Amino acid sequence: MKKTALWKDSWRAIAGNGKRFAAMLVIVAVGVMMLGGLNTIAKDIRAGLDEFFDSTSMHDITIISTLGLDDDDIAALGAVDGVDKVAGEHTANVTTTVDGRQASATVTTLNNQGIEQPYLEDGRLPQSAHEIAVTRQYLDNSGKSLGDTLTFAPDDSLASAASTVSATLASGGSGGADDSSDSSTDATGTFADGKYAIVGIVIDPNDIVNPSGPLALVSGAKTVYPMFVSDDALADADSPYTSAVITMAGAKAMNTYDDDYLDTVARVTGNIEAIQATREQARTDTVHQAALDKAMEQVEAQKTKIAVLPDGLPAKTTAEQQVAAAEAKIKSAVDAMPKAKWIIRDRSAVTSYEDVKTQTEMIARLGTMFPVLFLVIALLVSLTAITRMVEEDRGLIGTYKALGYTRHEIMLKYLVYSGAACLFGGLLGDVLGLIGLPFMFTRKIISDIYVLPSYPLLVDWRLALGGVLLFVVIITGAAMIACAGSLRLEPAELMRPKAPKAGKTIVLQRIGFVWNHLSFLGKVTARNLFRYKSRALMVIIGVLGCTALMTAGFGMGSSALTLMPRQHSEIAPYDVMAVTSAANHDKAQSSLDDDADVESTLPLQLGSVTLAPADGDGDDNAAGSADDAKLTAQLMVVPDGESMDGYINLQTPDGTPIELDDAGGGDGGVIVTANAARKLALASGSTVNLTDAMANTADITVREVAQYYTGNLAVMTQSAYERTFDAKFAPNAALINVKGGADAQIAFADGLAGQSEYLSVTSSAKQERDFSKSFLMFFVMVGFIVVMAAILAVVVLYTLASTNISERERELATIKVLGFRRREVHGYVNKEMLLLSAFGIVVGMPCGRALLGFLVGKLDLPGMNIVPNVLWFCYVAAAALAFVFTLLVSLATNRSLDRIDMVGALKSPE
């Protein structure tokens, strides 16, 4: 019977203190929502990529050889322990026409093992020669559709490089052969000439970045269209494979980011490395012998002719000597030919794989940090609410004790109250966090970044229950602490009203020239502020947290949206970047030199390069250890003696200019940008490994780390490049400054893009416009943070304001009896709240700037170096909204002031 009465009283307490209960419930719901939701989003994104990789049989390991691979290599790889399937692929860089302009593409054969199959969106995959599958981006940009045809040609810059060795051998090592001898091969390339019918629309599993999303815009790289054909499209069926793609046994059952998968990759990679040297030597011998045999065929034909000459003729002796010299030259040339070298890569070499990894880690970190903030606020709110409930129930608690109820039985009421708020709030938070937030982020935001076909909705019940349990334990623990003191008192003492706090002289009273000039109500307000110190501190903390969150949110938005304008005004002030093939560069440059709209140009060699820390040079103490990290950057090679002033302002993050010269000798060094340096844990003087598009690799010293906001860039001088890669400088691009404003620059870029010589033309002004349009993600993040800040402020302020009125009910009834009008009573209470809020706002703005710096440091967005840039209106907006929230709460609590029963309040001690 006793317990039944207590249970009924406990549930009545919820109904009788509904506003406090709702405040606790909302804070708990938001905390659980962010804990479960943000972590679930991270898992959903990773699972979406994992499902996509499984559906396309994405490679676990890929091998590229500098001399290609043959069937013996494929067979040897298939016998390696842990390998499930192996297939050889043929890939070629080609050029094609897109909307009347020359564009770059990569054509890859579909293999017979079904490994790394493109994801089919519409149509079908190629099944015979002269059929091709393309991406939707290609169709959108070209205006073509299924059933239309396209043609492509080999990329002349790569074809000419590939023909150098054969030309050298054909001349007996003299280098004097006529290049026309290989013209037929260059024209044909890897794949058969002719028109290819478009039969399918696909997604390339190696590139899932949305071409119109923010990541594509910040990369700064030219568009390269992936295309896929069948094996029947090969011009030579016996040509060596460009690469080998490998899947591991049991890999599909693992998540691609989990430790068990990564451990398996490391084990199988080690097994492959065990046969690497043997297979490299075998391939080297095969290629060298084939080259020697082909060259020696011509020499053998000349021996045959000499053999029929009579012995003893000086001409025969001279001819035999020439043949012997030619044989020696050929053998020397063969010995000097490059040797086969394998480059073994796992999925971390796929840019999209690393992008998803870093973004989900960022989201998960936010999913840990934000709930901690709301847990602290929930703790403060619950302490305030339960403490006030205990004060209001002093007489009831005394009665219970007098009737023989134990302290634990009486405490049950407050534990049920706080526990119910946590359970109901946690349930609501789980629904919103495990379903609502993931749906909004993955379907509405992440889908704008990546082109994955679907995302699974994963529910981690351990996280869902663990988050609720965490709040239950913390909040009910706070409730126990809040009521423990009163429960230790005797019934007689509890049944008497609690003596009011004794008045004290406040600090302000000692400052006469201030105190003496305050009005009566001003003095009352000052005394009340210092009288209720704990409540005043909680108001300040609540408003401070609200202001800090909004300042950080608005600052994040302004930092992101000013990123591209700052990039072009501070770092890269050039107007247009135009990319051609190496063969067309001179013609294009000559046309630019004669163009009256061109102010100046800087010819360059542009390419793609993979950066990785050199062996033993990564910083093991860096987050996540940079030893295995890799990233793709744009390689910019500047002609010797040319200045980049007015095109690229190379400077360190602290603003110190970086001189581009090669006076230091040695390898000349490379300048890397800040985002790449942070990702790979590099600094000035570090050694970095560079691998270019032709799989040439070299270690080189980092000369300096340069500030760069969007994309990753590596800058070298012509001399440094030629020494590092033993290759000729071949300009294929130009940075252009154009006369006129933004519209003129965009029009000029559009005009260049219409010319067939150009593969890619980028206007800085157009990039700025498109960049701001594409950053929906940051607008949503800002809105989300502002909503969370509003909930935080309203709940805390409303709880504290209601508690303040409840505690001072007799005081407020007294001043109403004394003749204070309705608006005067409102001002009497609200003035204190507004002053405390103003103080919280002032302190909250610099705290928000510090919070933004912390958040930006944890974001680690791929290809973006976000530097905090909080504009003045961010502070104004945060302060104004925090003040508005305070006013709204004040207006809401004014109704409680109007409903105070003066007679009942003054008679309450009786």
Last residue of a domain, one of 738, 763, 792: 738
Copy the structure tokens of residue 443.
């379907």
The reported pLDDT for the residue numbered 261 is 93
pLDDT tier for residue 442 given thresholds of 50, 70 and 90 = confident
Report helix, strand or coil for 806. helix
- CB neighbour list of residue 658: distance below 8 Å, 6 or more residues apart: 650, 651, 652, 671, 703, 704, 706
pLDDT tier for residue 797 given thresholds of 50, 70 and 90 = confident
Residue 65 in domain: yes
**193 has pLDDT over 60:** yes
Residue 677 in domain: yes
Residue 163 in domain: yes
Give the CA angle between residues 711, 713, 717 to the nearest 5°: 160
**663 has pLDDT over 50:** no
Residue 629 in domain: yes
Residue 212 in domain: yes
Hey, which of 52-61, 853-862, 888-897 has the most confident mean pLDDT?
52-61
**3 has pLDDT over 50:** yes
The reported pLDDT for the residue numbered 457 is 78
pLDDT tier for residue 80 given thresholds of 50, 70 and 90 = very high
Average pLDDT, the chain: 81
**762 has pLDDT over 80:** yes
Mean pLDDT over 171-181 rounds to 34
Mean pLDDT over 486-495 rounds to 82
- CB neighbour list of residue 142: distance below 8 Å, 6 or more residues apart: 97, 98, 99, 150
Which amino acid is present at 33?
M
Mean pLDDT over 104-109 rounds to 90
Report helix, strand or coil for 132. strand
**180 has pLDDT over 90:** no
pLDDT tier for residue 222 given thresholds of 50, 70 and 90 = low
- CB neighbour list of residue 372: distance below 8 Å, 6 or more residues apart: none
Per residue in 332-369, pLDDT (tens digit) is: 877 777 888 888 888 887 877 877 887 787 777 777 77
**764 has pLDDT over 70:** yes
In the chain, pLDDT over 70 holds for what percent of residues? 87
Which helix (H) or strand (E) is 246 found in, with range? strand 241-248
pLDDT tier for residue 185 given thresholds of 50, 70 and 90 = very low
The reported pLDDT for the residue numbered 174 is 34
The reported pLDDT for the residue numbered 905 is 61
Residue 770 in domain: no
- CB neighbour list of residue 176: distance below 8 Å, 6 or more residues apart: none
**265 has pLDDT over 90:** yes
Domain count across the chain: 2
Which helix (H) or strand (E) is 377 found in, with range? helix 351-392
Q: Higher pLDDT residue, 434 or 779? A: 434
Taking the chain, what is the end-to-end CA distance rounded to the nearest angstrom?
A: 30
The reported pLDDT for the residue numbered 880 is 92
For tokens 């700025």, name the residue: 768
The reported pLDDT for the residue numbered 464 is 85
The reported pLDDT for the residue numbered 601 is 92
The reported pLDDT for the residue numbered 388 is 78
Per residue in 692-707, pLDDT (tens digit) is: 776 678 888 898 999 8
Distances (CA, A) of 833 to 288, 385, 540, 807, 904: 85, 18, 9, 15, 26
- DSSP secondary structure letter of residue 206: T
Residue 749 in domain: no
**609 has pLDDT over 60:** yes
Distance CA 556, CA 467 (A): 28
Give the CA angle between residues 131, 92, 59 to the nearest 5°: 85
Per residue in 15-66, pLDDT (tens digit) is: 777 778 888 888 888 888 888 888 888 888 888 888 889 989 999 999 988 8
Contact of 163 with 87, CB cutoff 8 Å: no
Residue 470 in domain: no
Distance CA 744, CA 299 (A): 61
Contact of 709 with 571, CB cutoff 8 Å: yes
Name the nearest CA neighbour of 732 among 639, 642, 646, 668: 639
Mean pLDDT over 124-136 rounds to 92
The reported pLDDT for the residue numbered 163 is 39
pLDDT tier for residue 619 given thresholds of 50, 70 and 90 = very low
In the chain, pLDDT over 90 holds for what percent of residues? 17
Longest Cα–Cα distance in the chain = 143
Distance CA 910, CA 890 (A): 31
Distance CA 133, CA 523 (A): 80
For tokens 């001898």, name the residue: 181
Q: 125 is in which domain, residue-wise?
A: 61-277+338-349
Q: SS3 string of 10-78?
A: HHHHHHHCHHHHHHHHHHHHHHHHHHHHHHHHHHHHHHHHHHHHHHCCCCCEEEEEEEEECHHHHHHHH
Distance CA 120, CA 202 (A): 5
Last residue of a domain, one of 315, 349, 383: 349
Per residue in 247-261, pLDDT (tens digit) is: 999 899 999 988 899
pLDDT tier for residue 628 given thresholds of 50, 70 and 90 = low
Distance CA 339, CA 79 (A): 24
pLDDT tier for residue 179 given thresholds of 50, 70 and 90 = very low
Per residue in 415-434, pLDDT (tens digit) is: 888 888 889 998 998 888 88
Last residue of a domain, one of 317, 349, 381: 349
- CB neighbour list of residue 582: distance below 8 Å, 6 or more residues apart: 156, 157, 160, 730, 731, 732
